[in-house]
């Protein structure tokens, strides 16, 4: 077991150890370019197998009372190299997810012209029970002539996002990269004939953005030998209804070779696997390990998420096969857990582009609250957008991302490279993150205050609004801190800095 002072970066040591001493003592591309720079701090992170113990220890040093116990945060064995792999990821906090493919053409409008009932437009093939022979015709029409990798990456960067995760192959089996394992890809099967993934990889390299690839390793509606996903095959390949499936053939001839191609040619910072629970054998560890071993062999520093082997809900049991936990779709955590997590959220009800009447996008304020809450509860926030069939990011989504980016330019210090809420509870008024000798308070549930923190062990030096440096009135009596917040016309969340005299 590593002692509490080991494995921490300088800021963590100063923050926690000195508290102990106190106790004992996008529409415009040019605009995107100009507003894109956000500073990213450096940090070193804890080995996962000691993370729980350290969390308990450090929480006790900040809060006078702590309800965190080993029972509350159970340990699960994780590969020792996860610490190093997760370093950049825990610094980043905020990423962009992109769902884009053939399903972006119909965008939720069924063949009969009516809106499909399934909320996810990327499930168009399944939602409309289309055979592969019919659905695959969309490839002939997929020609996203407005696609611009540079613009996509700059929009992500301007928003304050530090990495992108894009669907290299979704459940429909269509790949948006050049694949020798299957001709059913954007280069060989469409009139576009450009390798989208390679263009994104190059643009991300130019702008310092990490790039991860979503890959549906279990569901593949374009391959009869993929697992019979709850009887789906009778719709996709009715002519093969009586032919037994051979999943290992699918693995050997498509899934594993395509993952190998991604690892070999496209240098992923992470592989975002999805839906192993559709395997008839249920979360088969032996199948998952084939993918994990391949990733570790070719790209040992590449991140792997928990959906390589486990459903997003329930207790993790195979944490040695992955680096972090993928929470359920759009699940915003309400407390920290022993395994670092990521929330795959979306701007709307669907992940793919949605042209259905009445579809709604969350506004910037709501999305920022979700980002803040996720960060304060020990997780990354992965916000999905769905580009159009032409390759454009919808203007109304760009507007919200621009607003988020403006907020991040002023307040990113409270998000990047921070530690989660160190106190025993979530406060009625909002959320907390911390770093170095500062607490960052987000009064998202009580914007006009007052704010009260009970159980603060260190003495307060000053309090101020992060974005304006305006002083905030405060009073500390013993371990209780009270702050008075001045009213503001800005609807976006304020960040209050509590600087500790260490």
The whole-number average pLDDT for the span 25-29 is 43
Least confident piece of the model among 73-77, 117-121, 462-466: 73-77
At 424, the pLDDT band (50, 70, 90 cuts) reads: confident
Is the predicted pLDDT of residue 384 greater than 80, yes or no?
yes
**What is the C-alpha to C-alpha distance for residues 380 and 366, in angstroms, rounded to an integer?**
16
Q: What's the maximum distance between 2 C-alpha atoms anywhere in the chain?
A: 78
| Average pLDDT of every residue of the chain | 86
pLDDT tens figures, 288-300: 999 999 999 999 9
- On the question of a cis peptide bond just before residue 450, with omega within 30 degrees of 0, the verdict is yes
pLDDT value of position 48: 34
**What is the C-alpha to C-alpha distance for residues 55 and 42, in angstroms, rounded to an integer?**
20
Question: In the numeric block, which tokens belong to residue 501?
Answer: 């005299």
What residues does 273 pair with on adjacent strands?
215
pLDDT value of position 283: 65
pLDDT value of position 63: 57
Q: Which of 250, 274, 272 is nearest to 262 (CA)?
A: 272
**What is the C-alpha to C-alpha distance for residues 166 and 268, in angstroms, rounded to an integer?**
11
pLDDT value of position 228: 74
At 345, the pLDDT band (50, 70, 90 cuts) reads: very high
The whole-number average pLDDT for the span 189-200 is 98
33 vs 257: which has the higher pLDDT:
257
Is the predicted pLDDT of residue 352 greater than 70, yes or no?
yes
The CATH class that applies to domain 1-74+416-502 reads mainly beta
Q: Which of 474, 479, 433 is nearest to 457 (CA)?
A: 479
| Residue spans in the chain of domains classed CATH 3.20.20.80 | 95-391
Is the predicted pLDDT of residue 483 greater than 60, yes or no?
yes
The whole-number average pLDDT for the span 188-206 is 98
304 vs 49: which has the higher pLDDT:
304
pLDDT value of position 43: 35
Yes or no: domain 95-391 corresponds to CATH 3.20.20.80: yes
At 1, the pLDDT band (50, 70, 90 cuts) reads: very low
| Residue spans in the chain of domains classed CATH 2.60.40.1180 | 1-74+416-502
pLDDT value of position 317: 84
pLDDT value of position 62: 59
Buried b (16+ CB within 10 A) or exposed e, 233-246: bebbbeeeeeeebe
Is the predicted pLDDT of residue 27 greater than 90, yes or no?
no
Is the predicted pLDDT of residue 318 greater than 80, yes or no?
yes
Is the predicted pLDDT of residue 126 greater than 70, yes or no?
yes
Is the predicted pLDDT of residue 59 greater than 60, yes or no?
no
pLDDT value of position 64: 59
**What is the C-alpha to C-alpha distance for residues 262 and 279, in angstroms, rounded to an integer?**
22
At 72, the pLDDT band (50, 70, 90 cuts) reads: very low
The whole-number average pLDDT for the span 76-103 is 94
Residue appearing with tokens 């002519």: 239
Least confident piece of the model among 275-284, 381-390, 493-502: 275-284
At 65, the pLDDT band (50, 70, 90 cuts) reads: low
179 vs 229: which has the higher pLDDT:
179
Is the predicted pLDDT of residue 429 greater than 70, yes or no?
yes
At 2, the pLDDT band (50, 70, 90 cuts) reads: very low
Helix (H/G/I), strand (E/B), else coil: 7: coil
Least confident piece of the model among 65-74, 88-97, 101-110, 244-253: 65-74
> Are the beta carbons of 437 and 62 closer than 8 angstroms?
no
Q: Which of 192, 161, 163, 162 is nearest to 175 (CA)?
A: 192
Is the predicted pLDDT of residue 268 greater than 80, yes or no?
yes
Q: Which of 378, 375, 397, 380 is nearest to 493 (CA)?
A: 375
15 vs 357: which has the higher pLDDT:
357
pLDDT value of position 426: 82
pLDDT value of position 373: 97
| Most confident listed range (62-76, 309-323, 426-440) | 426-440
Is the predicted pLDDT of residue 55 greater than 60, yes or no?
no
CA 441-473-436 angle, 5° bins: 40
pLDDT value of position 25: 34
């Amino acid at each position: 077991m590593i002692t509490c002072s080991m494995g921490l970066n300088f800021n963590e040591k100063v923050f926690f150890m000195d508290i102990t001493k106190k106790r004992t003592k996008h529409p415009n591309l040019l605009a995107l370019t100009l507003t894109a720079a956000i500073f990213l701090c450096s940090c070193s992170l804890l080995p996962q197998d000691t993370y729980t113990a350290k969390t308990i220890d450090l929480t006790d040093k900040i809060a006078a009372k702590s309800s965190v116990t080993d029972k509350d945060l159970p340990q699960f064995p994780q590969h020792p190299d996860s610490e190093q792999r997760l370093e950049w990821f825990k610094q980043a906090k905020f990423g962009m997810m992109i769902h884009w493919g053939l399903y972006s053409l119909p965008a939720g409008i069924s063949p009969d012209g009516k809106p499909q009932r399934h909320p996810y437009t990327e499930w168009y093939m399944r939602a409309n029970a289309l055979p592969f022979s019919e659905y695959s015709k969309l490839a002939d029409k997929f020609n996203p002539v407005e696609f611009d990798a540079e613009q996509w990456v700059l929009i992500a960067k301007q928003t304050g996002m530090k990495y992108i995760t894009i669907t290299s192959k979704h459940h429909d089996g269509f790949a948006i990269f050049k694949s020798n394992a299957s001709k059913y890809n954007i280069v060989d099967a469409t009139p576009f004939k450009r390798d989208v993934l390679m263009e994104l990889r190059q643009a991300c390299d130019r702008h310092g953005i990490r790039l991860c690839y979503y890959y549906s390793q279990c569901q593949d509606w374009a391959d009869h030998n993929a697992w019979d996903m709850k009887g789906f095959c009778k719709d996709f390949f009715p002519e093969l209804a009586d032919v037994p499936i051979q999943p290992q053939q699918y693995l050997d001839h498509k899934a594993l070779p395509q993952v190998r191609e991604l690892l070999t040619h496209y240098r992923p910072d992470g592989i975002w696997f999805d839906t192993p629970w559709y395997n008839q054998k249920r979360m088969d560890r032996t199948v998952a390990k084939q993918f994990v071993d391949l990733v570790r062999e070719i790209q040992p520093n590449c991140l792997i998420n928990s959906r390589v082997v486990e459903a997003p809900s329930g207790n993790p049991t195979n944490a040695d096969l992955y680096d972090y936990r993928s929470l359920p779709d759009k699940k915003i955590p309400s407390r920290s857990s022993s395994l670092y997590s990521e929330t795959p959220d979306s701007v709307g009800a669907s992940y793919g582009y949605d042209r259905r009447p009445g579809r709604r996008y969350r506004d910037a304020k709501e999305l920022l609250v979700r980002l803040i809450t996720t960060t304060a509860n020990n997780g990354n926030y992965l916000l999905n957008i769905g580009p159009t069939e032409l390759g454009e990011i919808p203007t109304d989504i760009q507007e919200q991302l621009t607003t988020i980016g403006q907020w991040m330019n002023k307040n990113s210090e409270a998000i990047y490279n921070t530690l989660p809420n160190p106190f025993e509870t979530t406060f009625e008024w909002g959320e907390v993150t911390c770093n170095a000798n500062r607490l960052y308070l987000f009064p998202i549930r009580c914007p006009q205050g007052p704010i009260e923190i009970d159980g603060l062990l260190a003495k307060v030096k000053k309090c101020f609004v992060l974005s304006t440096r305006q002083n905030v009135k405060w009073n500390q009596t013993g371990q209780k801190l009270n702050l008075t917040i001045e009213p503001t016309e800005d609807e976006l969340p304020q960040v209050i800095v509590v600087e500790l005299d260490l």
